[in-house]
Amino acid sequence: MSIFRLAVVSCLSGVAVLAAPDPSKVTFNKDVLPILQKNCQSCHRPGEVAPMSLLSYSDARPWAKSIKAAVVTRKMPPWMAEQNVGHFKNDRTLSTEDIATLTAWADNGALEGDAKDKPAALTFQDGWNIKPDIIVEMPKPFQIPATGTVNYKYVLVKTNFTQDMWISSAEMRPGNPKVLHHGKVWVRPPGSHWLENAEPGEAYENETQREIIGRNGAEEGNDILGKFNPGLGAQSFDINGSAKFVPKGSDLVFELHYTTNGQPTQDASKIGLVLAKNPPLTRYYFNAGPTASNLAIPPGDGNAEVVSEVTLAQEAKLVYAQPHMHLRGKDFELRLVFPTGETQTVLKAKWDFEWQVGYELAKPIDMPKGTRMIGISHFDNSANNRFNPDPAKEVVWGPQNWDEMSNCFIGVIIPTDTKPESVFKRSGPSLLPRGHSGPTLAALEAAKRNE
């Protein structure tokens, strides 16, 4: 038996040796550059979010050791989802072979190699990744100070859209990518009360101007049209013939999270839209799903659980999930409970406030009416969390970074005649009154027993 096992092991390692290049012969031009082109240069090039370029040998050479450290620890490329749960189109995970190649390069003198082995340089589009039919820009730039924290800003933009439109793809572009950390553009359909008292073009914040901003509740019918995250590019809404609906008379709301970078500067972000070429078969709708507005996180708790839930009042297909928490967030799980009682974990991901990663499902998941979507998150409200603004505080839901949130933005495909605001109904733990912790799965079970 032991001989047999030995044989299998040596045979496997033989295969591995054949597949990976000889470590001492690994060169930048032949082995490393193709990996950087495919996985890193979207962010690591001049003008993009990352602090250094990895386009050429001279750019990358000084970073060889840090590249090894960053890929071995899986800090880079940034991707938070657990490997064995769910499949995602936009998965950035490096293969173990690629990690081995980058490691071998760094450990063996980071050689340049022969110029004739070098793949052609990638050409990057300067500007749009789509060919927009319509571009909407903030009417005036927002002034960003040199230092300090800038709260989330909301800018109402009047569009004068005179007809109903179906959109097949969108791309939000910062005016200044050095200071726009991430952002969203929302459709505000006619009749929505959100920001109805706002002066178009002015930037408002929840912290001091809540009465002007008002509530962005699901009942308002608002819909996320496009978003910007570092390295995200354009978003397609065409999944087997679906498109996003923008009713005539809609306005747009730009939601902007700026970071300061040492110099006063300004930004006017914009969004480009591509009109659907064919009548849509289904509608792509994107809004907050499970939301824990009743959350309470005890002071000092290093692993506080918070559970939230919505039930589908209409059938829908799940195509996208983007958890959202603030500085105390640790991890997030999205679980489906089908009407049959079967459960499926769609996503399990570490949380990192800096990245706000969204997950594009490799295959849409059918969710019949009555399916429950459950969000389970954990928070570190202890002094061990270096981002924690105040471990002594009991934290509740709120818009500021020092408050918390636990929700998950959800992209679904629905029939074109379904009213989007009727899709998600709060249920289960999200209906419990706020206590001093949770709501937790255990508290929910207890509440059920007492019913």
For ligand HEC, the binding residues (CB under 6 A) are 39-40, 42-44, 49-51, 63, 66-67, 70-71, 76-78, 94, 230-231
Q: Exposed, middle or buried, 447 (CB in 10 Å: 0-12/13-18/19+)?
A: middle
* Residue 13 vs 66, nearer CB to ligand HEC: 66
**Least distance (Å) from ligand HEC to the CB of residue 232?**
8
Question: Is the Cβ of residue 41 or residue 216 nearer to ligand HEC in the bound state?
Answer: 41
CB 340: neighbour CB atoms within 10 A? Answer: 9
Closest contact distance (angstroms) between CB of 239 and ligand HEC is: 23
- 3-state secondary structure at position 74: coil
Least separation, in Å, of the C-beta of 71 and ligand HEC? 6
Q: Which helix (H) or strand (E) holds 172?
A: strand 165-173
Specify the DSSP class assigned to residue 317: E
The answer to whether 347 and 321 have CB atoms below 8 angstroms apart is: yes
Least Å distance, CB 45 to ligand HEC, is 10
**Residue 73 C-beta: closest distance to ligand HEC, Å:** 9
Count of all residues that appear for the chain in the document: 451
Residue 410 C-beta: closest distance to ligand HEC, Å: 22
In angstroms, give the least distance from the CB of 62 to ligand HEC.
10
Residue nearer to ligand HEC on the CB measure, 51 or 279:
51
Which one, 329 or 420, has the nearer CB to ligand HEC? 329
User: Which tokens go with 230?
Assistant: 């570092």
CB nearer to ligand HEC: give 39 or 418.
39
3-state secondary structure of 121: coil
- Please count the other Cβ atoms lying within 10 Å of the Cβ belonging to residue 23: 13
Burial zone of 17 (CB within 10 Å; 0-12 exposed, 13-18 middle, 19+ buried) = exposed
- Comparing C-alpha atoms, which of 390, 416, 418, 415 is closest to residue 404? 390
67 vs 410, which CB is nearer to ligand HEC? Answer: 67
Burial of 5 (0-12, 13-18, 19+ CB in 10 A): exposed
Based on CB atoms, which residue is closest to ligand HEC, 106 or 256?
Answer: 106
Shortest Å, Cβ 205 to ligand HEC: 25
Nearer to ligand HEC, 66 or 266 (CB): 66
Distance separating alpha carbons of residues 407 and 308, to the nearest angstrom: 8
User: Buried b vs exposed e over 107-129: b needs ≥16 C-beta within 10 Å?
Assistant: eeebbbbeeeebeeeeeeeeeee
Which CB sits closer to ligand HEC, 74 or 330? 74
Minimum Å gap between C-beta 94 and ligand HEC is 6
Element (DSSP H or E) covering residue 223: strand 223-228
* Nearer to ligand HEC among residue 330 and residue 393 (C-beta): 330
Mode of pairing for the β-strands spanning 242-246 and 282-291: parallel
DSSP 237-249: --SSSEEEEE-TT
Shortest Å, Cβ 90 to ligand HEC: 10
Residue position matching structure tokens 């995970």: 93
> 218 CB contacts (<8 Å, ≥6 apart)?
287, 288, 421, 424
Question: Cis link prior to 34 (omega < 30° from 0)?
Answer: no
Residue 189 CB, shortest distance to ligand HEC, in Å, is: 32
Cβ distance to ligand HEC smaller for residue 70 or 447: 70
